Chains A and B, each alone.
Chain A
């Protein structure tokens, strides 16, 4: 189905969306690039320093710690989340009692703000009064000392992140599973395939594209992680739990090093785009496909 030729009226229709995106995100991020090439602080005129800001952050051990923390948290969070979401999607697709209510419960964390989630998890995990901590201690297991032990702080932030975003990943995989044609399973049953074989040979391979989409989205969005870390550890103790976004925030709004913060920001932009290349390529091919295939 080919479209009508676009004219000025169509540009008027897309103008509000484009104006917001260009004015609020695109032009400011170009300015960030320029800012990253300058030495700049509060109330001081920027002076051009070339790539010095990049050299400085790339030799800053705190930057590398933030980078390493981000990579570890993103990898753990996204893959744990995909695994849980896949399990839940298959379970729900196989039929559950009171399906609508169960889905509503699965969806609920999607509606919770990061701050409210931090309230819940800090209360449950409080080393003194938290019931999960006390239950762990009663079982003789170690508890999370998230305020003092950097790895524990990151783990708690990661758990919280999984909790907040599981509904999104679950829904993507669940609706992809429901969209698989039923006659495939019919044919497999006639051939005598067991439920396990059907899952392994039909469901999982056919779900791969949806899993890739979900994974890519979550990589890009988990990479921005800020609030969970900020609200649990503020990057401490001793700057050991910073992630990229927290590092950027502190450089900009605590140390007033706008040039360094901008260089960090621009590296984040590049990393986000690199992560999304497979998705961008696929979108590009589909959108610029010859008429009739789009």
Chain B
């Protein structure tokens, strides 16, 4: 079916606008991070310029802790992802294969609990975390981030496990495998796609999260988004070039991961949205 010319033109225009809407803010900040200071504020923006690393040098000099905070983000994100994916996969297997009213009720409560807004639980957790001397540790963020994604993770992975024929479980059990053995040798390898999808969901959330990091960390476990917000709020005026360099370093790895995992993300979201 060929479309009339004006329809084709309109479609291309709409696509161009969507692309500009999504990509322009990111492209602008990344490009500006390589611009010499005098070019950043030139209007209209210059897309051809001599790239320079002076903003990155400024970042190293004035905000040396930023790299430490990036490392914290990486540690916390990796920990939360590992915990959430492992816990979700195990639960997804149980919910996919076994039935009882109590088990179903626990699956339902999982969805119910996930609807509670995160800020609400900071009230009791703030004193509790202090009491346990867990404030400003990686652990508290790992636990919080993993918890807020195990519901979605379990739902998505359950949809993946449901597609694995039960005959495979039964064959392995006939060979003498325990439920945990079946999980390790049959289920895990066959729902790797789903695990990648869930892993990326958690990774993106944990790498970027602001509220919990803002409330529960101060120096040692501080994550990169917090440093960015401090740079934005600097009283003696914002150093835009340095801020752009820091923003670029914060966003580049996670954008790369999301783009690389595009196929899995779509599969995971489809499974999660249609099945739950």
Contact = CB atoms under 8 A, between A and B. Distances in A.
Contact of B146 (A20, A91, A96, A231): A20
Nearest to B20: A105
Given A113-B250, A131-B44, A268-B117, A32 B123 contact: yes
Interface stretch (B51-59, B60-68, B103-111): B103-111
A28 B121 contact: yes
A122 B14 contact: no
B228 A116 contact: yes
Interface string B107-135: 11111111111111111111010000000
Contacts of A16: 86-87, 90-91
A252 B94 contact: no
A116 B148 CA distance: 22
Contacts of B180: 9
Nearest to B95: A14
Q: How large is the interface on A (under 10, 10 to 19, 20 to 34, 35 or more residues)?
A: 35 or more
A45 to B, nearest CB: 13
Given A115-B210, A248-B120, A120 B18 contact: no
B102 to A, nearest CB: 7
Binding site of B, secondary structure by majority: helix, strand, loop or mixed?
Answer: helix
A10 B146 CA distance: 21
Interface residues on B, range: 35 or more
B45 to A, nearest CB: 6
B164 interface: no
A72 to B, nearest CB: 18
Contact of A21 (B26, B147, B208): B147
B89 to A, nearest CB: 9
Contacts of B1: 195
Nearest to B121: A28
Interface in B191-236: 204, 207-211, 215, 225-226, 228-229, 232
A262 interface: yes
Given A25-B116, A114-B208, A287 B225 contact: no
Contacts of A44: none
A4 B95 CA distance: 10
Contacts, number: 281
A172 to B, nearest CB: 5
B119 A14 contact: no
Interface of B: 1, 3, 11, 14-15, 18-19, 21-23, 25-26, 28-29, 32, 41, 43-45, 86-88, 90-91, 93-95, 97-104, 106-126, 128, 143-144, 146-148, 150-151, 154, 166, 179-180, 183, 204, 207-211, 215, 225-226, 228-229, 232, 240, 243-244, 247, 250-251, 254-255, 257-259, 262, 265-266, 269-270, 273-274, 276
Interface of A: 1-7, 9-11, 13-14, 16-18, 20-22, 24-26, 28-29, 31-32, 35, 87-88, 91, 94, 96-97, 100, 102-124, 129, 131, 134-135, 163, 166-168, 171-172, 175-176, 179, 195, 210, 213-214, 220, 223-224, 226-227, 231, 245, 248-249, 252-253, 258, 261-262, 265-266, 268-269, 272-273, 276, 280, 283-284, 287-288, 291
